[in-house]
Structure 1
Amino acid sequence: MKQLTLGMVAHVDAGKTTLSESLLYTTGTIKHQGRVDHKDTFLDYNTQERERGITIFSKVSSLDYKNNHFTFIDTPGHADFSGEMERALSVLDYAIVIINGLDGVQAHTKTIWNLLEHYHVPAFIFVNKMDLTHYTKEELLDSLSQLSPHIMDMSASEEDIAALDEEMIEEYLETGFLKDTSIAKAISNRHLYPLYFGSALKNQGVDELLDALDRYTLEKEPQTELSAQVFKITRDERGERLVFIKVTGGRLHVRDTIHDEKIHQIRLYQGNRYTLVEEASQNDIVALTGIKKLQAGDYIGLGHVIHSTLRPSMLYSIQPSKEADINHFFSSLKVLGEEEPLLHLKLFDDHAQVSLMGEVQIDILKQLMKDRFNEDITVDEGEVAYLETIKEPVEGVGHFEPLRHYSEVHLYLEPLPQGSGLVFDNQCQNNLEERYQNLIMTHLQEKEHLGVLTGSPITDMKITLIGGKAHLKHTEGGDFREATYRAIRQGLKMTESVILEPYYKYELVIPTEALSKVYYALEDYPTPTVVNENNDITTLHGEAPVLFLTHYQKELLTSTKGKGQLFFLDTFYAPVENQEEVITKCDYDSESDLDNPTGSIFCSHGAGYYVPYDEVREKIHLPLYSAMKQEHTYTHNLVHISDEELKRVYERTYGPIDTKLASDYYKPKQDHVSSNTVQVLDEYLIVDGYNVIFAWDELKELAKENLGSARDKLIDILMSYKGYRGCHMILVFDAYKVPQNKGKSQMYHDMEIVYTKEGQTADAYIESITKQMAGQYRLVVATSDNLEQKIVLGHGATRISSRELLQDVISRSKIQKEEFERKNPQMHSYAFEDLKKS
């Protein structure tokens, strides 16, 4: 039996819960088909959900259809609860995107679509409420095309369907039809998004959707090793902690141990009811009890931690009532913070701070605290959640050496383009043990590191481990945590930081008569563009700071007499215009933040003492690796070298010169080689491509306009040079910043061209290959990277700088041209010359 996990995702009020109800009822899983407006649906059993008519928490149900077992996760559609929806996406095999036929593609639909792309989830599309809409199928399909051109009405011809995928085209041209497996493969690869129309409330189109899920879905290959992904933490009605997981490989049993904790129960949920099972196998969605340490996004066995891409853009202060027990207040919030990690809960002496997505979530939070914990809370108006980044790269150093402890960490911090988030890399350049390197990489990613201007989280930078040191006796794991945290903060203090504020990309739907008022209200920000003008209604798209738009919603309702609607399409961060004003308002002192120190601890006479951030570099025990990596400016002076000196250098590098006479070529071959003959190894020239491009003026200028053209020209030059030099050649290009890049090696004629994989620099590749090839070939490395030159010398390679390579290319090209002209003298065409004279 095929077993898959499917997710219901949509903009609020599109009909997710109604479709879930219809699927359960159609397959006989439930006997009564409930309705949201009747407050009796099988899945929206929470009191607040039934009262509000929206899904707040994701729910799990399952059904059997033909030879399939489908587990469905019904996710929230309201934008305020996007975090709950996103966590479910990490465990889906397929998504069913429900579109409201009355509205077409809405603002939050685009956010959902981008998240599906981020998690690489294939999708089926169901346009709901076709019994009520005034739109035609063609008009709705046109609206859907803004999501993807690969959305296809499955009532279309097979020829049209085949046109979306190369393999389907080949099959259709060969056979004249498409197999179900070919269509299923195209869907799995996200080359095709099947589209169906219907009405979930009236069970129209539901059978067709079920048939499509049966025919066009593929199950993943079975995995024997244990792996599972945690996607939800919640509590049951008795307060028992439930860890919802999807098993992606192997088996789990009751009483198995996970991170030193024993599983008490394995629950298989159907709505709010469950059955106890003894084991869970691949593709099962189950809830575990007895596990206290796992959090949403964690994994069991093989896998990786899932980090949310969403970030609430407003911070709110929560105050308990005067009669409240502060400890009970904090413990209650911690429970909700586990269930919703995007709250980013912070506790202070008498209040707490949380991140929230919007007004509805604030109301829900108040009600949850009252219903579950009997706590009355007040929430302030909120403030912007700033972020910080840096302008220039810097090496940060952290040292931690109190008595009987020791660690030192060197990190290289580099700014990245806006929206990149944090990227971590390990390019440790000394012999620090691998276990300590792994510890440092873990500490880099285990917490939210704060900036030094406002104490806001950092973003948009790459943090690379470049060096570290431990002590044979005194180093413990926690020492590297301290050194790592301090290295980040010290680096931030040693460079210039920038404060970023959140912006919304928005959609405004307003009466056309209110257009001038709206433009006037938005005059301080980029002018919105009209994307649709339909009689009395105009739709605008634009972007503005979150702080402004949050307060503008009430003004919009007033200026449009309640008819205006504001939708937030996407969030991004950009530098604030009034940075000094924000710094003053936040009143943050990085040197007083004892939880996030910027200085380091050193040891003197058996006692540890604190060294401020700006004095740390004077006392560190390792060199500054970034200084070693700086390129040096070379001055070339014209020096006359005698032929004897050149011969001596050549023989020292390549061995004795064996000068041959004509008789050597024509005398009979010897049957044996003299025992004192020196074997001259084949030569390999290894070239650091981008280092050369930016060292050669001509290529550097070309690269400013088109890097690809500069790369192609270098390849052509080196192909000719390879022929002149008569050697093997490997040309290496950095591709370490290309996401999902696995690297590749290809032959261009007889020259090998290498593009490094993600996270691997050309330096690292060249260092590795010279080590592998040492002793087998004569290796010459062309680069101006000083540190790299020293390393390859240690591997037995010869080095030349990029500029020296250029001079050799020019010289050999000139010599070869002169030799060609000498051997091929120009032949006179006397007839042509006589003709010219006449």
Structure 2
Amino acid sequence: MLTLTIGILAHVDAGKTSLTERLLFEAGVIGHLGSVDGGDTQTDSMELERRRGITIKSAVVAFTTGGRRVTLVDTPGHSDFIAEVERALRVLDGAVLVVSAVEGIQAQTRILMRTLTRLGIPVLVFVNKIDRMGAQEGPLLDALRAKLSPRCVALSTVTGLGTAQAKPSPLPFGEELAEALADDDRFLTAYVAGEVSEEDYRGALVRQVGLGTVHPVLFGSAITGAGVGELVTAVRELFPARTRDDAGPLDATVFKIERGRAGEKVAYTRVRSGSLGPRRPFPFYRRENDGTVVDLAGRASAVRVYEHGATPVEGTALAGDVARVWGLKDVRIGDQLGSPEHLPARGFFAPPSLETVVHPVDPDQGVALYAALERLSEQDPFIGIRRRGHEVSVRLYGEVQKEVVRSTLAEEFGVDVRFEESRTLYVERLSGIGTAMRNPAPDERVYFWATVGLRVEPAAPGSGVGYALAVELGSLPLAFHRAIEETVYETLRHGPRGWEVIDCLVTLTHTRFYPPLSTAGDFRGMTSIVLREAVRRAGTRVHEPVNAFEAEVPTAAVSAVLRKLVELRAVPGEPIVRGAVCTVAGTIPAASVHELEQALPALTQGEGVFVSEFGEYRPR
């Protein structure tokens, strides 16, 4: 059997969850259509998802069509949950990007397409809601080519646009498609010779879609079902499938973690090669913050494979399968089972730029709150937890995510919380080089049986925190070395000015232990003291996150937009005018992005489009 894993991606409210529901209905997986408004769809299983009518967590379902098993990952559309989308992208063979025929291309749509193109993931564009009043075809196609990719090529057209009778019909292969396929040498030779056939068109289309260079556009409606059959055919025929077998060594990616009813970890895994079955030992690998790869060992106690619908069945996962795996108590999102080959070097999207302090309404639930947040950070590593004394803060993408965290803590963990106002998440960078060393001091009230010397120095932007040894590895028991290294990373999460210290190299320069008195705890305590002193001597400077942005606004509104940009400390470049539209690119502090997004509709009469992504950290 051939297998295929695809993602359904879109801006919020484009109709991707409704499309997923329709695909399952057409494939015979479900007997009746659920609705987002009714809260009974297959993939929105969380109570909060049903109440709000949005997707918060990625969901997995499977169906079979034309001899292919298609595993479908429904991803969130709201920008606050972009981390869920990132994890799904790592395991996809192709993506269906849903665009509303009424609302058109949104900022999030452009960010998603830009990322998919950069990763070379094959993309089909499904223009949804052709039955809705105000639906567009020609202008929307022009916008797709201008804002997403010039190689968005329509494979269908619509009759009865904007009515309940709207229906797509296939377009014959012609010059527009030929132009999009011109990079295919085999096709171009036949076309120039005047001997091109429909098979030539189709063969070149399959090759170019597989390479991620051409993006077919199909029209339809998830509500009426119009065009959905044609979409299934395109997915089956145009996306690159693979044979489901157990050839080769195990290579699998963990892209999601949740907790089972008994509190056990459940890992969602996509298998690339080999097989994954219960009670078989295997290595798995993780890339730490300093870039080093850690080799661990695991054994699955149970494996359930997605074959038909949203409920997986007991079995052995083969190449191409998506499975839920039990028994890996130390596993984390991003881990690679069997092979380190596909370990991610970095994320596709910007890290969260907001932080908020969270308090339990009941002060006696402080311990329960921290434990619950640690559970949530397992499911979403971007929810970084920082603890200073009794104060606990979490990282967030936006206010909607804050509401989700609040509801989840109340409903799943029984902890009611209140949040302080969100603030920008700054970082600290070293200003120079600092050294410190301390020996045991029994005359002090609190002392540690350990000698530790450390040197800290700045590293290249984006390099993260590095750790090195200037002493012999055998100078200490391995457990003591491990205690020092772990404490280095933990201590740097709270710099002298209260923010995380990034992009630096920490070198262990001196060490000594005192048997039988020394313990790992002594080295943890002494390392924290010495490192803080070395960082203080080096000095730090606070940096703020800065986004690169691009704004498309009506030419008549560009002056007002530029004034607002300058007011928000943005640095705009030279405006580029193309007819009635002006494009402005530049940089803007991440703290100002939300205010600009709120102001842009009024400044541009609703015609402005703003896209931004993390660029760098700059001194405040």
If the length of structure 2 is used for normalisation, what is the TM-score?
0.75
Matches within 5 A, 1:142-221: 142-154=143-155, 155=171, 156-157=173-174, 159-166=178-185, 168-170=187-189, 176-177=196-197, 178=200, 180=202, 182-220=204-242
Find the counterpart in structure 1 of residue 423 from structure 2.
Answer: 383
Find the counterpart in structure 1 of residue 252 from structure 2.
Answer: 228
Tell me the distance in 2 between the aligned counterparts of 1:241 and 1:290: 7
Q: Deviations over 1:631-653 (max 9, x none)?
A: xxxxxxxxxxxxxxxxxxxxxxx
Find the counterpart in structure 2 of residue 332 from structure 1.
Answer: 372
Kindly provide the amino acid, as one letter, of the partner of residue 285 in structure 1: V
Q: Judge conservation of contact 2:358–2:394 (CA < 8 Å) in 1.
A: yes
Matches within 5 A, 1:742-821: none
Task: Quickly say closer, same or farther: Cα 1:2–1:199, change in 2 above 3 A.
Answer: same
Tell me the distance in 2 between the aligned counterparts of 1:472 and 1:380: 44
Kindly provide the amino acid, as one letter, of the partner of residue 268 in structure 2: F
Query: Which ranges in structure 1 are unaligned for 5 or more consecutive residues?
Result: 578-838
Find the counterpart in structure 2 of residue 743 from structure 1.
Answer: none
**Deviation, structure 1 residue 255:** 2.2
Matches within 5 A, 1:587-736: none
Kindly provide the amino acid, as one letter, of the partner of residue 416 in structure 2: D
Task: Quickly say closer, same or farther: Cα 1:302–1:167, change in 2 above 3 A.
Answer: farther
Kindly provide the amino acid, as one letter, of the partner of residue 320 in structure 2: N
Task: Quickly say closer, same or farther: Cα 1:348–1:407, change in 2 above 3 A.
Answer: closer
Q: Judge conservation of contact 2:493–2:500 (CA < 8 Å) in 1.
A: yes
Q: Judge conservation of contact 2:144–2:152 (CA < 8 Å) in 1.
A: no
**Deviation, structure 1 residue 262:** 4.1
Tell me the distance in 2 between the aligned counterparts of 1:512 and 1:149: 23
Kindly provide the amino acid, as one letter, of the partner of residue 355 in structure 2: L
Tell me the distance in 2 between the aligned counterparts of 1:41 and 1:5: 20
1:360 correspondence with 2:405: no
Tell me the distance in 1 between the aligned counterparts of 2:527 and 2:368: 34
Find the counterpart in structure 1 of residue 137 from structure 2.
Answer: 136
Find the counterpart in structure 1 of residue 25 from structure 2.
Answer: 25
Matches within 5 A, 1:468-487: none
Find the counterpart in structure 2 of residue 40 from structure 1.
Answer: 40
Find the counterpart in structure 2 of residue 705 from structure 1.
Answer: none
Task: Quickly say closer, same or farther: Cα 1:319–1:432, change in 2 above 3 A.
Answer: closer
Q: Judge conservation of contact 1:406–1:479 (CA < 8 Å) in 2.
A: no
Find the counterpart in structure 2 of residue 291 from structure 1.
Answer: 328
**Deviation, structure 1 residue 354:** 0.2
Task: Quickly say closer, same or farther: Cα 1:550–1:136, change in 2 above 3 A.
Answer: closer
Secondary structure of the structure 1 residue equivalent to 2:311: strand
Tell me the distance in 1 between the aligned counterparts of 2:579 and 2:76: 30
**Deviation, structure 1 residue 338:** 1.2
Find the counterpart in structure 1 of residue 311 from structure 2.
Answer: 274
**Deviation, structure 1 residue 505:** 5.1
Q: Return 320-329 or 278-287, whichever deviates more.
A: 320-329
Kindly provide the amino acid, as one letter, of the partner of residue 294 in structure 1: V
Task: Quickly say closer, same or farther: Cα 1:424–1:260, change in 2 above 3 A.
Answer: closer
In structure 2, which of residues 614, 617, 620 is the aligned counterpart of residue 571 of structure 1? Answer: 614
Task: Quickly say closer, same or farther: Cα 1:171–1:487, change in 2 above 3 A.
Answer: farther
In structure 2, which of residues 591, 595, 620 is the aligned counterpart of residue 547 of structure 1? Answer: 591
Find the counterpart in structure 2 of residue 106 from structure 1.
Answer: 106
Q: Deviations over 1:580-624 (max 9, x none)?
A: xxxxxxxxxxxxxxxxxxxxxxxxxxxxxxxxxxxxxxxxxxxxx
Tell me the distance in 2 between the aligned counterparts of 1:541 and 1:356: 26
Looking at secondary structure, tell me which structure has more helix per residue.
1
Task: Quickly say closer, same or farther: Cα 1:35–1:218, change in 2 above 3 A.
Answer: same
Q: Judge conservation of contact 1:511–1:560 (CA < 8 Å) in 2.
A: no
Q: Judge conservation of contact 1:43–1:271 (CA < 8 Å) in 2.
A: no
Q: Deviations over 1:349-403 (max 9, x none)?
A: 43410011111111111111111122110001022101234577x6x77989989
**Deviation, structure 1 residue 5:** 0.9
Tell me the distance in 2 between the aligned counterparts of 1:532 and 1:127: 28
Tell me the distance in 1 between the aligned counterparts of 2:607 and 2:205: 43
Q: Judge conservation of contact 2:99–2:126 (CA < 8 Å) in 1.
A: yes
Tell me the distance in 2 between the aligned counterparts of 1:142 and 1:166: 28
Task: Quickly say closer, same or farther: Cα 1:482–1:84, change in 2 above 3 A.
Answer: farther
Q: Judge conservation of contact 1:510–1:560 (CA < 8 Å) in 2.
A: no
Q: Judge conservation of contact 1:107–1:507 (CA < 8 Å) in 2.
A: no
**Deviation, structure 1 residue 52:** 1.3
Find the counterpart in structure 2 of residue 315 from structure 1.
Answer: 355
Tell me the distance in 2 between the aligned counterparts of 1:22 and 1:65: 14
Task: Quickly say closer, same or farther: Cα 1:398–1:217, change in 2 above 3 A.
Answer: farther
In structure 2, which of residues 253, 258, 271 is the aligned counterpart of residue 247 of structure 1? Answer: 271
Secondary structure of the structure 2 residue equivalent to 1:341: coil
Q: Judge conservation of contact 2:546–2:618 (CA < 8 Å) in 1.
A: no
Query: Which ranges in structure 2 are unaligned for 5 or more consecutive residues?
Result: 156-170, 283-295, 441-447
In structure 2, which of residues 390, 394, 411 is the aligned counterpart of residue 371 of structure 1? Answer: 411
Percent identity, aligned pairs only, is 26
**Deviation, structure 1 residue 17:** 0.8
Find the counterpart in structure 2 of residue 415 from structure 1.
Answer: 460
**Deviation, structure 1 residue 519:** 6.0
**Deviation, structure 1 residue 170:** 4.7
Task: Quickly say closer, same or farther: Cα 1:523–1:404, change in 2 above 3 A.
Answer: closer
Q: Judge conservation of contact 1:4–1:70 (CA < 8 Å) in 2.
A: yes
**Deviation, structure 1 residue 432:** 7.7
Task: Quickly say closer, same or farther: Cα 1:105–1:336, change in 2 above 3 A.
Answer: same
**Deviation, structure 1 residue 298:** 1.3
Task: Quickly say closer, same or farther: Cα 1:538–1:47, change in 2 above 3 A.
Answer: farther
Q: Deviations over 1:479-538 (max 9, x none)?
A: 999999999978866767543212345678999999887666544334768789999x99
Tell me the distance in 2 between the aligned counterparts of 1:272 and 1:237: 20
Tell me the distance in 1 between the aligned counterparts of 2:234 and 2:222: 16
Secondary structure of the structure 2 residue equivalent to 1:362: helix
**Deviation, structure 1 residue 119:** 4.0
Tell me the distance in 2 between the aligned counterparts of 1:23 and 1:111: 25
Q: Deviations over 1:262-285 (max 9, x none)?
A: 423222358995243132111211
Q: Judge conservation of contact 2:100–2:128 (CA < 8 Å) in 1.
A: yes
**Deviation, structure 1 residue 147:** 2.5
Q: Deviations over 1:100-133 (max 9, x none)?
A: 2223321112222233245442222222223334
**Deviation, structure 1 residue 543:** 4.7
Q: Judge conservation of contact 2:267–2:331 (CA < 8 Å) in 1.
A: yes
Task: Quickly say closer, same or farther: Cα 1:65–1:115, change in 2 above 3 A.
Answer: same
Find the counterpart in structure 1 of residue 13 from structure 2.
Answer: 13
Find the counterpart in structure 1 of residue 158 from structure 2.
Answer: none
Q: Judge conservation of contact 2:273–2:318 (CA < 8 Å) in 1.
A: yes
Tell me the distance in 1 between the aligned counterparts of 2:206 and 2:280: 37
Larger relative contact order (C-alpha < 8 A, sep ≥ 6)?
2
**Deviation, structure 1 residue 239:** 3.9
Q: Judge conservation of contact 1:411–1:487 (CA < 8 Å) in 2.
A: no
Tell me the distance in 2 between the aligned counterparts of 1:547 and 1:149: 33
Find the counterpart in structure 2 of residue 792 from structure 1.
Answer: none
Kindly provide the amino acid, as one letter, of the partner of residue 144 in structure 1: R
**Deviation, structure 1 residue 40:** 2.6
Q: Judge conservation of contact 2:353–2:590 (CA < 8 Å) in 1.
A: yes
**Deviation, structure 1 residue 342:** 0.9
Task: Quickly say closer, same or farther: Cα 1:270–1:398, change in 2 above 3 A.
Answer: farther
Tell me the distance in 1 between the aligned counterparts of 2:488 and 2:75: 28
Q: Judge conservation of contact 2:429–2:541 (CA < 8 Å) in 1.
A: yes
Tell me the distance in 2 between the aligned counterparts of 1:358 and 1:491: 35
Task: Quickly say closer, same or farther: Cα 1:439–1:241, change in 2 above 3 A.
Answer: closer
Tell me the distance in 2 between the aligned counterparts of 1:143 and 1:560: 24
